[in-house]
Structure 1
Amino acid sequence: MFNLRDFRQDVLKITQAEFANLIGVRQDNVSRMEKNPETIDLSMLMNIANATGQSLDQLVGYKKDVPQALEVENVWKENENMKHVLLDYLENNIEHLPLETEWYDNIVKELEEMFQTMFKKPKVAVVGMSDAGKSSLINALLGVEKMPTSWTPTTSISVHIKHINDRPEFIKDEATIFEGSENGFDVNRIHQHSYYEETRLASGPTSILSEYGTRQGDYYSIEDASAAVVYLDSPILQLCDVIDLPGFGTGDRDMDDIMASQSTEFADATIYMSPANGFLRGTDIEFLKASLNALPAFENSQNELEPLNNLFVIASQAHTINHGNKVEVDSILDAGAERFYREVPEEIWENKSEVSNYQYTVEEIRKRFYSYTTDHAGLREDFEKNLRYLLETLPFIIKQNAWNMMNEYLDKYKKELEIEKVNFIEILDEREAKLEQLKQMKNDEPMRKYEMQKARKEVMEKIELFRDDTQASFEKEFSEIVSPDYIVNLIKSKGYKKKKDDMEHLASFISSKIQAKIQNILKYKSEDLNLIINQYIENFEGAIHKHAYSDVRGFKIPFDTKKAFASGLAGIATFGGLAFWASTLGNLGGYILVAKGVSVLSAVGISVGGTASAVTAISLIGGPITLAIAVSVILGMGVFMLGSGGWKKNVAKKIVKEYSKQDALNKFSNVIDEFWDDTEFAFNSAADALEEEWQKKLSAMEEKVSYYSADDVRRSISEVEQMIKFLEEMPIPFCNAIAV
């Protein structure tokens, strides 16, 4: 029997008067129904269900069978086997290698990290407004009832769901709750025992998710709870990790919106859910646009994946639309796709096209819209078929990318080792000439350092100029967009009408337009910065190799300046404009950014190379601020004048007033300042690393030339040959996969 009092008090957490107002009856009627729940008839139950967004099954506590788990072919096992073969090769040979030499030891460590990093499973994030049915969909895909579901918004922490075989040996429990630092919880470090212990709040069966991760849980109010990791046995988890994110728009914890928005940055595919009976209404579409912006664009004509193949926009609970009438559901999807396409500014679609060379039309966008319900297999089969295709295709793309990256790195290492070998041979033959050459290099070091310090100062001055230019450019763009005249013209050109939905869409479009402008301004300046950074690195390389080829056969110290510079980015959280630079480095940039924690498919896009792929590095800038301001503006619109005459001007003034109230221009200016602050810090970190690595190389070569005996040199030649042989025999299998 339906217990109305418990439902109102424990689930909805509202008073009798508020509930009476919600369902449209007098309070005394609610009081009588709570005292005598057996008197509640079917029509009243339906009224309560419609008012609270629940199904009759949920109200009376009926539990449906969870659909069978999504069946997929485990094609990831080839990637896993490839990784284990390579790691085993390292482990079996490591004790025989001359790792006393720091350089050789670093080569082996870099290879091990690369093998671990490049074979990460893709992450599929399930996002959307609260009560969209995210946890229910995940339970259905898994084929097990593990994610907590209820009448009210439930998940309030990000839950990372992994396959049981991926669980480290030291973790014994099914689920663990973690706290995060100011930068959040880093799920990529969970295999580190020390990090696990430092961040663990609680562990046990999956039931602890209800205690820490739901609004009804005993420990829900503990703000330290940042994420949970769950290990389960399910076919879909053989191909990907699934992330259940907090629902957008709950209103009770701002951190949920921020967490959900930021977590999508690390997702390779996104399933965005919105209830079919209110599909993409209100602020819902704003959150979808945030998810779109964070999505890596890796599709192209070579791998034959369709535009936005890793985005699934779901009309959930589709059975509520006239008992699941497919024609009506498709009509809702058509209208939603059209509305979404119109509300995304052309700049964002152009940036996507720049990466993939696809044209993003409304027809292509509509292909990414699906219906879903656990009640009707016919309303979810298209979604399941396309999700299955993506998950079974991604392992081949990831494998091909890893194969390309490893071969490039191995070739680079072997070339550097061959140079080292030649140097040792020449030390034996012409030691005096080498000593003289080395002496000249050392004598030139003070001047080289002075010149590079001066060049470094010039780069910093350029960054400050870029800061000023971007601030001025953005202020001009912002003033043009957030103005009554622009907004009135926008209302006319978009054909917006005097109704609440259209006004929300108008405010949403304006927010996206602003974000697109700030991204493009920073993108163009980052392109200019790229030229300056590359020139700085070229000048450094020219200076250190000044005496590489003298009249006497000179030697060239094997030193990769670009890689050494990039190594300085490894330990910092944000790169600013240097993220754009790193993303133009092809496989090197892909490796750096994946090691940092971006989605593995972002690395696939980046590894293709070229400035176009670097758009990904800029696409997230201003996202959380834009989202927060947009939602506030939409909600702040409230009730506006819909009377005759001048309504367009009134609406425009109201929007301008809301942006002023939110201090939006100042907040966006702070985003730009932070971007360039991060750029300065990243450049200094990279320049420091470059100088430090060069000094190590120079000192090592000085020791070899000055102090090695002939026997020492011969032994060193033997060790170099041993390292070359080790790399040449690396068991990298032939990869005949989908082009990336």
Structure 2
Amino acid sequence: MFSLKNFRENNLKMTQDDFAKMVGTRQDVVSRWEKNPEQISLDNLRIIAEKCGITIDQLVKFKKNVPTPLNVKNTWRIPAFTKNAIIDYIDHYLLKTNNSLEDNSIISDLQKRVKNISKPKIAIIGRSDVGKSALINALIGTEKMPTSWTPTTSIVVYITNISDRPKYIEEDVWIFKDSVGKEKGWDYQRLEDEEYCRTWKLASGSADILYSYGTRQGECFDKNEAGSAVVFVESSLLDVCEIIDLPGFGTGDRIDDDLMTLKVKRMADILVYMSISNGFMRSEDIEYIKESIQNLTILENDHDNIKPLSNLFIVASQAHIVNAGNKQTLNKIMDEGCERLVRTMPNDFWKRRSLITKHEYTKSDIRKRFFTYTTDIDDLRQNFNQDLCSIVESLPLIINEQMKTDISSFAESASDNLKNKIKGFVQLTNEREKYIQLLAKIKENEPKRTYDNQNRRKDLQDNISILKRESITKFQDKYKEIINIEHIVSVIEQCDFKNKKDDRQALGSYLNSQLQTVLQDTIESNTKIFNNKINEYIAAYKKSVAYSEIPGISVNMPPFDVTRAFASGLAGLATFGALTFWASTFGNLGAYILVTKGVSVLSALGISIGGGTATATAAIASIGGPIVLGISLAVIVGISVFAFFSGGWKKSIAKKIVAEYVKNNVLDKYCTVISNYWQDTEIAFNASADKLEVDWGKYIDNLSELINNYDIEDIKHKLEVARSLKSFFDHIPL
């Protein structure tokens, strides 16, 4: 029999008085319920369950039929075979040649690149009461997860196949700290790094440990120590993908939950957004979905027969609670939810995505991405399961093709560089005097080259300051055009918004989208100017070190890759500013840099396929992130509480909206976003420029040692290694 006292004391850890206040009754009534649980009416059980964010079944621990776990074809075995074949090829080469990775940094780069290719990731996101964890349990098999893992997950939970568990981990669950020193958030992509993970480890054990550290009811929640967890489960679905269960947003108790949710979901290749069916598509849902669409990995294309937005699922969860799961009622709810979403999207909302995909997005495209879900009625989750299976099975095949193209391009570039290096070694053995002259010229010119480079750096730094000021000024002007009474009235009339709460919220959302588009347009136009300046800087640097073109000294210099050295300076940074856009257009190395910074695998690999356009678009769309979303939500909440009478209500609403934007310091917050973007850009540029100088200095030192020592046997050995490496890249198995 259900024990309310046990539930109150052990699960909620509340006094009778506190519990009575929560459910809206008196303490003496609670006392009677605990003495005689059979006297608790169904209505009161429903109230208790709703206040606790669980179902009545979960409250009374009613055991019902468990949905069959999602059964998918293991298409990941194909890219896994490709990946393992390349890794084995690398290992065999190193064993055969007895060379270390330190001696062959280019192979080390390849090895890291290949190892970073991982299964596609599904992110489950939504408010804290929508049933995210219940969905995951159903997909992978409820019996594999603890029943106490309620829909109140408070940390990021990565769920992966038990076969992918690193050898140093024995338990089913590891809990990781929220931060270590100044570093925030454990990096899931470093799961194979034992030393790193042990530094971040907070606790480990069976799946039950998630209750203590991973839910708001858990005894360790208030300590704020835990930030994420990894769970290892045997599941057909996890043979093909990985799942990220994100904290429910909008609880208000930990703002970091919302920030972490926005950050981590950008790792996802598939996004499942859940909104409870009897409160479907609230204004907060609409803002989160629009933000998510802007950052959603672009998959659709004719070649792979991927339909528009196939990796987006907008789910009406717990569908059985609406008119006993009546399909007609649920379809009406989803139709209305889609209409509310589309009304908040200005005409240019889709423009960046459309430029890439050549597809004109319609309301029909969006409506097709709406699904019902419940664990209670098979028929209400069938469409969701079928569509999810289809896209999950397709993605590994896309990853495999893009991985092979990426590795092939990398190998071709490496082979060309090694070809030039071989020519240089051959010439050095025959014409050492020319190299002595060359080295003398290089050292003689170093003071002038350094001086000229410092001036070019100063010019570019000044240019960053100018672009920052211009960006802020341009945005301020556009802001004033949007957040003014006349424009707002025109939007009301154009979109036929009415004088009611839902329409006022939709109006606020529409205006926020306009501002977000202006922010992106402003940043993008000046970022393109900056990227041209970066390319000019790199071109000038290349020219300044192109000593093989000196008249009278015709030699094959060992190659020095200026662009690669500059780009590698970004690898240790948290944010790149405008250089994110540049890196996304830089092919293979850009892909490697971005995938290590939390970009989805498909987005990063897509760089080498589509010229970087898709990833560059995502980089621009992510500007502002949590700050911009927070602005949108605050304004919508503010304007929704106003009440207006008929008559001149349109102008009255417009005035109130303008006042709300002023009250929330919206313009200043947007300007801060722009300022921080260019500040990050300057930091990233300086780091890359410094790395370029360091690498050039090492290049000169290595060249000096090679020429001055002139150990013919050593040169022959280097020549042999270079030829061996070229053969390695020429015959890489793809």
TM-score for the superposition, normalised by structure 2:
0.93
Within 5 Å, which residues of 2 pair with 1:286-435?
286-435=287-436
State the distance in 2 between where 1:715 and 1:409 align: 24
State the distance in 1 between where 2:49 and 2:530 align: 57
What is the identity, as a one-letter code, of the residue corresponding to 2:654?
A
What is the identity, as a one-letter code, of the residue corresponding to 1:526?
T
Instruction: Return closer, same or farther for 1:516/1:183 CA change in 2, 3 Å cut-off.
Output: farther
Shift of 1:45: 4.8
Give the match for residue 554 of structure 1. Answer: 555
Q: Deviation digits for residues 85-120 of structure 1, max 9, x if unmatched?
A: 222222232144374796x42112112101101x21
Give the match for residue 634 of structure 1. Answer: 636
Within 5 Å, which residues of 2 pair with 1:143-158?
143-145=141-143, 154-158=152-156
Shift of 1:729: 3.4
State the distance in 2 between where 1:535 and 1:671 align: 27
What is the identity, as a one-letter code, of the residue corresponding to 2:672?
N
What is the identity, as a one-letter code, of the residue corresponding to 2:70?
L
**Number of residue pairs matched by the alignment:** 729
State the distance in 1 between where 2:482 and 2:158 align: 39
Instruction: Return closer, same or farther for 1:325/1:728 CA change in 2, 3 Å cut-off.
Output: same
Contact 2:174 2:201 in 1 (8 A): yes
Q: Deviation digits for residues 616-639 of structure 1, max 9, x if unmatched?
A: 111111120122222222333353
Give the match for residue 279 of structure 1. Answer: 280
TM-score for the superposition, normalised by structure 1:
0.93
Contact 1:264 1:295 in 2 (8 A): no
Within 5 Å, which residues of 2 pair with 1:214-233?
214-233=215-234
- Select 2:669's aligned residue among 667, 678, 681: 667
Pair 1:80 & 2:58 matched: no
Give the match for residue 608 of structure 1. Answer: 609
Task: Give the gaps of 5 or more residues in structure 1.
Answer: 734-740
Q: Deviation digits for residues 523-542 of structure 1, max 9, x if unmatched?
A: 11111111111111111111
Shift of 1:643: 2.1
Contact 2:175 2:202 in 1 (8 A): yes
Contact 2:148 2:208 in 1 (8 A): no
Q: Deviation digits for residues 10-50 of structure 1, max 9, x if unmatched?
A: 55969879968977x89987776566442344455567667
Shift of 1:72: 0.6
Give the match for residue 439 of structure 2. Answer: 438
Pair 1:501 & 2:502 matched: yes
- Match of 1:608, SS state, is helix
- Match of 2:405, SS state, is helix
Give the match for residue 200 of structure 1. Answer: 201
- Match of 1:323, SS state, is helix
State the distance in 2 between where 1:640 and 1:617 align: 36
Contact 2:101 2:107 in 1 (8 A): no
Instruction: Return closer, same or farther for 1:675/1:148 CA change in 2, 3 Å cut-off.
Output: farther
Instruction: Return closer, same or farther for 1:352/1:610 CA change in 2, 3 Å cut-off.
Output: same
Give the match for residue 170 of structure 2. Answer: 172
Instruction: Return closer, same or farther for 1:193/1:26 CA change in 2, 3 Å cut-off.
Output: closer
Instruction: Return closer, same or farther for 1:172/1:350 CA change in 2, 3 Å cut-off.
Output: same
Within 5 Å, which residues of 2 pair with 1:576-595?
576-595=577-596
State the distance in 1 between where 2:496 and 2:663 align: 27
Give the match for residue 105 of structure 1. Answer: 104
Task: Give the gaps of 5 or more residues in structure 2.
Answer: none
Give the match for residue 647 of structure 2. Answer: 645
State the distance in 1 between where 2:683 and 2:134 align: 44
Contact 2:8 2:19 in 1 (8 A): no
State the distance in 2 between where 1:712 and 1:152 align: 65
What is the identity, as a one-letter code, of the residue corresponding to 1:114?
R
Pair 1:538 & 2:539 matched: yes
Give the match for residue 693 of structure 2. Answer: 691
Give the match for residue 57 of structure 1. Answer: 57
Contact 2:149 2:210 in 1 (8 A): no
Give the match for residue 730 of structure 2. Answer: 728
State the distance in 2 between where 1:54 and 1:454 align: 64
Contact 1:441 1:547 in 2 (8 A): no
State the distance in 2 between where 1:536 and 1:436 align: 27
Instruction: Return closer, same or farther for 1:253/1:148 CA change in 2, 3 Å cut-off.
Output: farther
State the distance in 1 between where 2:119 and 2:29 align: 55
Pair 1:71 & 2:71 matched: yes
Shift of 1:151: 11
Instruction: Return closer, same or farther for 1:631/1:19 CA change in 2, 3 Å cut-off.
Output: farther
Give the match for residue 517 of structure 2. Answer: 516
- Match of 1:185, SS state, is coil
- Select 2:706's aligned residue among 704, 708, 726: 704
Identity of aligned residues (%): 42
- Match of 1:231, SS state, is strand
- Match of 2:104, SS state, is helix
Q: CA RMSD in A?
A: 2.6
Give the match for residue 140 of structure 1. Answer: 138
Q: Deviation digits for residues 29-81 of structure 1, max 9, x if unmatched?
A: 77765664423444555676678775443443312232111001111122222
Instruction: Return closer, same or farther for 1:12/1:459 CA change in 2, 3 Å cut-off.
Output: same
Shift of 1:296: 1.7
State the distance in 1 between where 2:6 and 2:484 align: 50
What is the identity, as a one-letter code, of the residue corresponding to 2:39?
T
State the distance in 1 between where 2:423 and 2:271 align: 51
Pair 1:618 & 2:645 matched: no
What is the identity, as a one-letter code, of the residue corresponding to 1:258?
L
Q: Deviation digits for residues 117-171 of structure 1, max 9, x if unmatched?
A: 1x21111100001111100000000013455667975100010001111111111
- Select 2:721's aligned residue among 715, 719, 722: 719
